[in-house]
Amino acid sequence: MEMVTLSIDNQRVEIEAGATILEAAKKINVDIPTLCYIEEINEIGACRICVVEVQRAKALQAACVTPISQNMRVWTNTPAVRKARRLTLELILSNHPRECNTCIRSLNCELQKLADRFGIREIRFWGDDLSYTIDESTPSIVRDTNKCILCRRCVAVCDQVQNVRAIAPQERGFKTTIAPAFHLDLADVACVLCGQCTLVCPTAALHERDQTEEVWAALADPKKHVVVQTAPATRVSLGEELGMEIGSIVTGQMVAALRRLGFDKVFDTDFSADLTIVEEGNELLHRIKTGGVLPMITSCSPGWIKFVEHFYPKFLPNLSTCKSPQQMLGALIKTYYAEKIGLDPADIFAVSCMPCTAKKFEAQREEMRNSGYPEIDVVLTTREIGRMLRQAGIDFNKLPTEDYDDPLGISTGAGLIFGATGGVMEAALRTVYELITGEELEEINFTVVRGLEGVREASVQAGDLTVKVAVAHGLGHACKLMEAIKDGTSGYHFIEIMCCPGGCIGGGGQSIPTNREIREKRIAAIYTADELMTIRKSHLNPSVQKLYEDFLEKPLGKKSHELLHTHYTDRGTAPHLKASE
Amino acid sequence: MENSPCQCMEESYQELVKFINQYEGESESLIMVLHKIQETLGFVPVDLQVKVADVLRVPISKVFGVISFYAFFTLKPKGKYHISVCKGTACFVRGASKVLDAIEKKIGLVPGDTTNDGKYSLEIVYCLGACGLSPVMTINKEVHARLTPQRIPEILAEYT
C-alpha cells in the first residue's frame, strides 16, 4: 500500500494513498465537523460543514471528499474556515423551524449540536417559512419535511444499504424535498418501515412515531392490566439512551425500571424467541421430510417480511409461517396467560419494547389478532422507552437488577442471540441438531454464522443430513442472497435474514447514533450475555416445555397453528400506482 | 389508459409502451426514454412513469425525481396555448412579476399548470434571449415584447 505524508494543522500524518482529508484528520484525532457524511454510504460533500483550507487551493475544500496528496498542507481551524462553517450553518438554519425545545430530537440533534459548537447566537438570514404537511401515514415513521436539511443521508441508506428506494430528492432549487414518488405518503409506496432513515437523519425530519402517551395512559388506568415484553436487542442498547457506555448489558435494570414505571408484569421476548425456534425448527424438519418448499427463510424481522411482500413475492412460500417472537408472545398473553390469571383479554394491555420501527406496523397487521384482540397494543422503540425512563427520573446506575416474571419471562441464551445477525440461525442449529440426532450437542457456539460479513454460509452435519444454511443482514445483502437462490439450485435448507445491518441490535428503533462500531459493541454484548445464561438451547427452556404440556400440546399442533403461525400478502412494488400494460 | 382522450393518443400510447419495452434493465436510458414520451404526448403520464420504472429497473422515486427536476418534463399536457413568461434578470427588473400576476389573475392559473379546459398552460422561463425587448413572453411560438400588466387582457383575447 502506497503511503502519503501530509500535514494537518501543522501535525504530520502518514496515511494510505486515496484516503480523504477527513480520514487523515481522524487518524491524528483532529475533529472535522460533518453533517451530510456517513462513512462509505454518503460521501457527497454536499453540506460544506467539513470545509478546510488547503495550501495553494483556490477555495476551501470539503474534507470528506477531497483526496490527500503528498506534502499537502491542510488547516482545519482558521478564520476563513470558521467563517465559512458559520455561514453555512446560518444558511441551513435560515429556514429551519426554530422549535428545538419541543422537538423530538432535542439534545440529540446534529444540527443543534453544530449550532452550539460554532456558537451561532444570531441568524442573519430569514428564509421562507416552510409549511409542508407532516406525513403521519404510517404507524412507524413520521416524515416532517419542514425539518429536513437535504443532507440526503436517508436517501443513501434507503438506496444503497436497504435497496428499498422509497424516497429520493424531488423537484429542485428551493422546492427540493426528500419524498416518495409523486409526493405520495410513505404508506402509499413500497417503504418497509425499517427506520434506518430515522437512525441517520441528523434532525427530526424522519423519526419514529412516538406512542409513549398511549402507554402512560394505560399505566394510569386502574382497569387495565398492563404487561410488557422486551426484545433481545433492547437490553444492549437501552443503557446508551440513559448515558451509559455503548454495549452495556442492562437486562436486570431494565426489568426493575419497567416495574417502577408501573407495568404489572415484565415478560421477555426471549421466551417467545425460544418458542419460535421450537416451532420453526420443527417446521424446517417437516419441510425437509415432506418435500416442502425450501430453502425455508426466517420470518422474525417485520421489515424483511414487508420487503419480500413488495419486492420478492415469488418467495412468500419460502417464508416460515411462524409469527415473530413479539406476536407469538402477544398471542399467548391474550390467551394462555389471560386464562391462567383469570382475566378478560379485553382488560389486558400488551406493550412491547422493540429495537424496531417496523414492529409498530407488524402489530397493526390484520392477521395479528387471532385471539379476537390485538396481540400487541403498543410497540415502543428503545428510544421511546428511554424517553419514558428519563421522564420518570429513573437512573439505571441506582437500580438493583431484577428478574423477569413467570412464566413468560423464562428464557435461554438461544432466545437472546436473536438480537444479533446470525443469532436465529445459531439458535435454530442448536435445537435442530438435537431434534435430528437425538444426541446432545457439545460445541454450541456456531461462530461460523456470526459476524458482520453481509452474506455468510455454512454446512452443519447433523446425523446423515448436511444442513446447508445462509445468513444475510441488511436488505441490500438480502437481495444478493435472493438473486443467488432465484434459480433454485442453491441447495440451502434454511436462510436467516434480518432487515437491518447487524440484525436487531442495529434496528431502526435503537439508540441514536447507531454506526458500525456501535453495532459491533452491541453484538459483543449479546454474545457475552448468552455465555452468562444457564440454559442455552431453546427446546430446553422449562417454561416452553410446560407451555406445550399445559396449552399448546405439540409443536405445529392445532393450537400453534391458530395462534403462532400466519400468512403473507403480495403487496407489489408500486402499491398505489398502476403501470400501463 | 384514463389519460388518453382520443384514438390517436391510444395509438401513440401503444407505440410508446413498445418503445419502452426495448430498454429492459437499461437504467442509463432513463432520460432519453422520458424525452420520447414527453415529445410524443406533450407530457409524461403517471402510468407510463411506473411502466418506465418497471422496465428500466429504476426506482419510481427516482423517475419522478428526474421528471420533477427538469422543467422540460411536465405531468399534465400543455394547453392549446402555451405561455412562457420570462423572469430572467432583465425581464425581472423591468416588471416581469407584475406581468405574471396579471396573467395568473386573468386565466386563473399558477406556473406549471394547465387550465381544465386544456386551453392555456403557463410556465416561467429564465431568459428567452430577448432582453432588449423585456419584459417578454412567448405564446406558442409568437413573441410578445415590452409587456405591461395592462396589455395582458388584450393580448390573451387574441388566443381563443
pLDDT at residue A457 in the model:
95
pLDDT at residue A575 in the model:
78
| Interface contacts A/B by beta carbons within 8 Å | 61
Which residues of chain B does A579 touch, with a Cβ-Cβ cutoff of 8 Å? Answer: 47-48, 50-51, 53-54
Q: Which of B68, B124, B126 to mutate to test the interface with A (most CBs of A within 10 A)?
A: B68
Smallest CA-to-CA distance from B87 within B159, B32, B147 is with B147
pLDDT at residue A573 in the model:
87
B64 inside 8 A of chain A by CB: yes
CA distance A246 to A253: 15
Instruction: Inform me whether the pLDDT recorded for A371 exceeds 90.
Output: no
Reported confidence tier of residue A129, pLDDT bands at 50, 70, 90: confident
> Where does chain A hold its CATH 3.10.20.740 domain(s)?
3-92
End-to-end Cα spacing for chain B: 29
Backbone angles phi, psi at A11, to 5 degrees: -105, 140
**Inter-chain touch A172–B17, beta carbons under 8 Å:** no
pLDDT at residue B5 in the model:
52
Residues of A belonging to the active site: 280, 283, 300, 320, 359, 362, 367, 504
- Closest chain B C-alpha to A393 CA, distance in angstroms: 43
pLDDT at residue B8 in the model:
65
CB A450 within 8 A of CB A426: yes
DSSP class of A370:
T
pLDDT tens digits, residue range A6-18? 999 999 999 999 9
CA distance A164 to A307: 8
Share of chain A above pLDDT 90, in %: 96
Instruction: Name residue A284's amino acid.
Output: L
pLDDT tens digits, residue range A27-56? 999 999 999 999 999 999 999 999 999 999
pLDDT at residue A47 in the model:
96
Instruction: Inform me whether the pLDDT recorded for A485 exceeds 80.
Output: yes
pLDDT tens digits, residue range A157-167? 999 999 999 99
CA distance A109 to A57: 33
| Grid cell at residue A210 | 412516538
Chain B residue closest to A166 (CA)? B61
pLDDT at residue B72 in the model:
85
pLDDT tens digits, residue range A261-291? 999 999 999 999 999 999 999 999 999 999 9
Instruction: Inform me whether the pLDDT recorded for A580 exceeds 70.
Output: no
A534 inside 8 A of chain B by CB: no
pLDDT at residue B78 in the model:
86
**Inter-chain touch B60–A573, beta carbons under 8 Å:** yes
pLDDT at residue A306 in the model:
98
Backbone angles phi, psi at A357, to 5 degrees: -85, -30
**Inter-chain touch A167–B61, beta carbons under 8 Å:** yes
Chain A residue closest to B60 (CA)? A181
Q: Which of A62-76, A423-437, A563-577 has the lowest mean pLDDT?
A: A563-577
Mean pLDDT of the A312-328 span:
98
Chain A residue closest to B67 (CA)? A171
**Inter-chain touch A579–B47, beta carbons under 8 Å:** yes
B74 inside 8 A of chain A by CB: no
Better-scored residue on pLDDT, B38 or B3? B38
Instruction: Inform me whether the pLDDT recorded for A372 exceeds 90.
Output: no
pLDDT at residue B10 in the model:
77
pLDDT at residue B4 in the model:
46
CA distance A98 to A101: 8
pLDDT tens digits, residue range A416-434? 999 999 999 999 999 999 9
pLDDT at residue B71 in the model:
83
Mean pLDDT of the A497-501 span:
98
Instruction: Inform me whether the pLDDT recorded for A361 exceeds 70.
Output: yes
**DSSP letters along A301-324, please?**
-HHHHHHHHHH-GGGGGGB--BPP
Q: Taking the CA of residue A457 as centre, how many other CA atoms within 13 Å lie in the half-sphere pointing to its CB? A: 17
B69 inside 8 A of chain A by CB: yes
Going by CATH, does the domain composed of A212-564 fall within 3.10.20.30? Answer: no
Reported confidence tier of residue A2, pLDDT bands at 50, 70, 90: very high
Instruction: Inform me whether the pLDDT recorded for A540 exceeds 50.
Output: yes
Reported confidence tier of residue B151, pLDDT bands at 50, 70, 90: very high
CA distance B144 to B136: 6
CATH class of A3-92: alpha beta
Give ipTM to 2 decimals.
0.92
| Grid cell at residue A447 | 461462530
**Inter-chain touch B51–A159, beta carbons under 8 Å:** no
> Where does chain A hold its CATH 3.40.50.1780 domain(s)?
212-564
Mean pLDDT of the A294-305 span:
98
- Give the mean pLDDT of chain A: 96
- Which contacts of A87-94 are long-range, i.e. CB under 8 A and separated by 24 or more positions? A88/A47, A88/A48, A88/A49, A88/A51, A89/A49, A89/A114, A89/A115, A89/A118, A89/A120, A90/A120, A90/A123, A90/A124, A90/A125, A91/A125, A92/A35, A92/A47, A92/A149, A93/A120, A93/A123, A94/A123, A94/A125, A94/A126, A94/A127
Interface of A with B in 142-181 (CB under 8 A): 159, 165-172, 179-181
Which residues of chain B does A577 touch, with a Cβ-Cβ cutoff of 8 Å? Answer: 46-47, 50, 60
pLDDT at residue A56 in the model:
96
Backbone angles phi, psi at A141, to 5 degrees: -125, 135
Beta bridge partners of A455: A472
- Can you tell me whether residue B40 is helix, strand or coil? helix
Mean pLDDT of the A182-207 span:
97
Mean pLDDT of the A312-336 span:
97
pTM score, two decimals? 0.93
Instruction: Inform me whether the pLDDT recorded for A146 exceeds 50.
Output: yes
A578 inside 8 A of chain B by CB: yes
Q: Which domains does chain B have, with CATH numbers?
A: 7-69 (no CATH), 81-156 (3.40.30.10)
CA distance A295 to A299: 13
